[in-house]
Amino acid sequence: MILENVLRKLGVVLMAAAVATVTAVGASAKVEGDTVYLGAAISLTGKYSTNGAHTRKGYDLAVEQINAAGGVTVDGVAYKLGIVYYDDESTPARGAQLAERLIQQDGVQFILGPYSSGLTRAMAPITEKYGIPMVEANGASISLFQEGYKYLFAVLSTTEQYLQGAVALAAETAGEGQTLRVGLAMENDPFSQDVRAGVIADAERLGMRIVIDDKLPPELNDMSATLAKVRALRPDLLVVSGHAKGAALAIRQIADSRIDIPMLALTHCDAAQVIEKFAEKAEFALCASQWAPGLSYSDELFGSARDFADLFEATFDYAPPYQSAESAAAVMVFADAFERAGSFDPAAVRDALAATDMMTFYGGINFDDAGRNIAKPMVLFQIQDGEYRVVYPSEASEAELRHPTPRWSER
Amino acid sequence: MFENLQLLIDYPSLGVDLIANGLMIGAIFALAAFGMALVWGVLGIINIAQGEFVMLGGFVALTAAGLGVPPLLTIPLAAIALFILGWSLYRLVIFRVVDRDLFVSLLATFGLSIILQQLSNEIFGADVRTLETGLGTMVLFDGQIVLAEIKLVSFVTALTVGLVLWAFLKRARLGQAIRATAQNARAARILGIDTDRVYAATYALNAALCGAAGSLVVMAWTIHPYIGLPYTVRSFLVVIVAGLGNIVAVITAGLGLGALENLAGFILGAEYQIAFVFVLMVILLVGRNFWLRRKREYLE
């Protein structure tokens, strides 16, 4: 009897202690000393590990730069930024779990997004549930912004805009009264299907005809069936989207099979490193990008887009992919919102985020009601003489579009 | 679907082109399937890590080419490297699960496949990679049929390897020992065959064949650490169709699968290509159950 009583009391005491610890951690961990912590679950292993690493480098570079410049000043006190990282192993379930962990156990109250739309989609309901703001830089799927989330903000252009520039360019080059024929080879995943929807909407608006509409399987290892259609139907514009493997396979097999396409537009060229891998086989291809070092944007922290690129290259020994640039911009957005909110209260920061209107080396940032950045257009590169040259939008372009792509027999 | 079919009727050369390209990738399926048939027949193990061996062969070829080895020479190099890896994996893992329940070996090789995937992701990165051979493209019949020369190389290599393998099993001492062990391991042991060595050699040979296939894949297509599964599934399908002991049947089934799959991808749409493979597999498994001859499979 006595033992039972003691045990029961001990249990109560232990439980109280546990609760006290959890709440203590929850209350103090978001700001430790002079450092405010952001949380990020990104793909350090698994199939997105390369892009996860690009994302992390972007975050780290921005944090370093902001801290070197004196950190963020909130309510007259200067704070440094810090990031709590976890590895989401490229799986959405793990990402959701880690979001929960960051918020519940680590007491982090501000989340930086993971890599990919799939993972962002897994984490968004969690941050929303706890009312924790998430600024994300790598989840472009339009469907993320149709859920009515109030705490989700994206600095990048959404998916449906990715290749609309190619459609616009194709329309510009077409002569009067010509009906352009468009071929689509898009991976059967949310990202590429959103890209597809954007292309189809624009193509139909401009009176083009869709002659091929293939959905590539995620475990894509050969495209010859689709390319046979291209050879037979000769579309004026072929649009391919299937992450790095789609871009690499498309360039490899179009060149190997000598298929003539007047205009080829792709996503993920730089992630697939098509210039390094295929050299002249990749010439003339158009590539969608969120950002380019040649753009004329600038800010006080990093300087111009070119300055960011130089700093990144000096730090990490390779040119920054756009994933790193947009990730750095996400950190800048948080820093800006903290200063304007004047506190680290998640709700106040959320409202400050919603009112964001700033210029960065990455482009303008201004969120609409759904949390999308509407101040920055997509960029389209063309591979010219072994280099990416911006050809769209025309006001930011560095080079003239080379059109049409010469036939293989004439190259 | 109907417009695709119509297209095929309007342009018959398109069908030939599709089949030709399908045969090329089918040859790779056959190459990966030889080893699966051997391992299944001799060790009684369905090697789920088959596609990962193919993937590793590709990375070995890439690494070798990076060190200055001419691309085509990476084919034997990848085979040798994978032979050594296969032997080591046998000594480390596989010998513990031979003669055990099928589930145990399935789990073991499934585990191996995940470990190999993650390790290569760690070592080589998740990027999509490809190797330039400098070979050109053949344009036949006034551009009706276009074939990359590297695909032709892989086709010829697969057929040659098949032939050599067949001769090896018939003539070489080790080949005969492999066949004997497949027929009756206990009897083979009584007659003085070191079956454990035969098992190790068979598993290593399988890895070597996959390695060669992988080096061809990286030259004609692309690889990344997660590309293994499609090759495992296809080798499995080829072995189900061809049976365990017949190399000619493996070649035929591999080529046939490649051609059929490419046609299906064209007619049904690329998104149904792998679905088609799975449906085919289910039909074949059910069909085989119906017509299963109650006869022991053996290596001829």
pLDDT in tens, A208-250: 999 999 999 887 888 989 999 998 899 999 999 988 889 999 9
* Chain B residues whose beta carbon lies within 8 Å of the beta carbon of residue A214: 269-271
Distance from C-alpha of A329 to C-alpha of A334, rounded to nearest angstrom: 9
Give the up-direction half-sphere exposure of residue B136: CA atoms within 13 A in the CB hemisphere.
Answer: 5
Residue A68 class from Cβ within 10 Å (0-12 exposed, 13-18 middle, 19+ buried)? exposed
Q: What is the pTM of this model?
A: 0.81
* pLDDT range class, residue A359, cuts 50, 70, 90: very high
- pLDDT one-digit tens code per residue, A308-324: 999 999 999 998 988 99
Chain A residues at the B interface, defined by Cβ less than 8 Å, are: 45-51, 185, 188, 214-217, 219, 221-226, 228-229, 231-233, 244-245, 247-249, 252-253, 256-259, 271-273, 277-279
- Which pLDDT score, from 0 to 100, does residue A2 have? 55
- Distance separating alpha carbons of residues B18 and B210, to the nearest angstrom: 25
Strand partners, A84: A39
Answer yes or no: are the C-beta atoms of A60 and A139 closer than 8 Å: no
Instruction: Find the residue in A nearest to B16 (Cα).
Output: A228
What confidence tier does A20 reach under pLDDT thresholds 50, 70, 90? very low
Mean pLDDT computed over every residue of chain A: 88
Residue with tokens 């984490």: A123
Contact B152/A at CB under 8 A: no
Please state, for a pLDDT cut of 70, what percent of chain A lies above it: 93
Residue of B125, B150, B222 with shortest CB distance to A248: B222
The model's pLDDT over A78-128, given as tens digits with 9 standing for 90+, comes to: 999 999 999 999 999 999 999 999 999 999 999 999 998 889 999 999 999
Rounded to an integer, the average pLDDT of B30-36 is 94
Mean pLDDT, residues B18-34: 92
Question: Is A219 close to B230, i.e. CB distance below 8 A?
Answer: yes
- A410 or B111, greater pLDDT: B111
- State what percent of residues in chain A have pLDDT above 90: 62
Token readout for B89 is 């994996």
Distance CA B127, CA A263 (A): 26
A25 pLDDT tier (thresholds 50, 70, 90) = very low
Give the pLDDT confidence of A369-388 residue by residue, as tens digits.
999 999 988 999 999 999 88
Structure-block tokens of residue B292: 């299963």
Q: What is the mean pLDDT of residues A267-273?
A: 85
Chain A contact for B123, CB < 8 A?
Answer: no
Residues 6+ apart with CB under 8 A from A177: none
**A35-42 and A111-112 as β-strands: parallel, antiparallel, unpaired?**
parallel
Question: Average pLDDT in the A138-161 region?
Answer: 92
Please check the confidence at residue B142 and state whether its pLDDT lies above 80. Answer: no
Is residue B296 predicted with pLDDT exceeding 70?
Answer: no
Helix (H) or strand (E) run with residue A315 in it: helix A305-316
Give the dihedral sign, CA B243/B246/B247/B251: negative
In sequence order, the 6+-apart residues with CB closer than 8 A to the CB of A52 are A42, A43, A44, A46, A87, A88, A90, A114, A115
Read off the amino acid at residue B170.
K
Question: Which residue has better confidence, A123 or A399?
Answer: A123
Gap from A231 CA to chain B (nearest CA, Å): 9
Mean pLDDT for A240-265 is: 91
Which residue of B11, B23, B147, B273 is the best one to mutate when testing the A interface, meaning the one whose CB has the most A CBs within 10 A? B273
**Residue predicted with more confidence, A285 or A23:** A285
A170: tokens are 């194709």
Asked whether residue A397 carries a pLDDT value surpassing 60, the answer given is yes
Mean pLDDT of chain B: 90
| Residue in chain A nearest B230 by alpha carbon | A219
* ipTM here: 0.84
Kindly tell me if the per-residue pLDDT of A26 is higher than 50: no
Question: So what's the pLDDT on residue B181?
Answer: 92
Q: What is the pLDDT of residue A12?
A: 56
- pLDDT tens, residue by residue, B220-253: 999 999 999 989 999 999 998 888 878 899 999 9
Band (A13; pLDDT cuts 50, 70, 90): low
Residues 18-37 on B with a CB inside 8 Å of A are 18, 21-22, 25
- Given this model, what pLDDT does residue A305 score? 92
| Residue B112 clears pLDDT 50, i.e. is over it | yes
A27 pLDDT tier (thresholds 50, 70, 90): very low
Token pair 């070489």: residue: B172
Element containing residue A305 per DSSP (H, E): helix A305-316
Q: pLDDT tens for residues B177-198?
A: 999 999 999 999 999 999 999 9
Give the range among A14-18, A148-152, A191-195 with minimum mean pLDDT: A14-18
Question: B257 to chain A, minimum CA–CA distance in Å?
Answer: 14
The values of phi and psi at residue A186, to 5°, are: -120, 135
Which has more pLDDT, B216 or A18? Answer: B216
| Whole-angstrom distance, CA of residue B172 vs CA of residue B169 | 6
Q: What is the pLDDT of residue A58?
A: 96
| Contact assessment for residue A41 and residue A95, using Cβ atoms and an 8 Å cutoff | yes
Per-residue pLDDT tens digits for A163-188: 988 999 999 888 777 889 999 999 98
Residues linked to residue A390 through DSSP beta bridges, in sequence order: A381
C-alpha to C-alpha distance for B186 and B44, rounded to whole angstroms? 14
Q: Which of B82, B32, B38 has the alpha carbon at shortest distance from B57?
A: B82
- The larger pLDDT score, comparing residue A8 to residue B107, is at B107
Least confident piece of the model among A25-39, A263-277, B120-134:
A25-39
pLDDT at A9: 58
Predicted confidence (pLDDT) per residue in A280-303, tens digit: 899 999 999 999 888 888 999 999
Structure tokens at A199: 């292309």
Read off the pLDDT of each residue in A41-64 and give the average, rounded to a whole number. Answer: 92
B268: contact with A, CB 8 A cutoff: no
Task: Please compute Rg for chain A using Cα positions.
Answer: 24
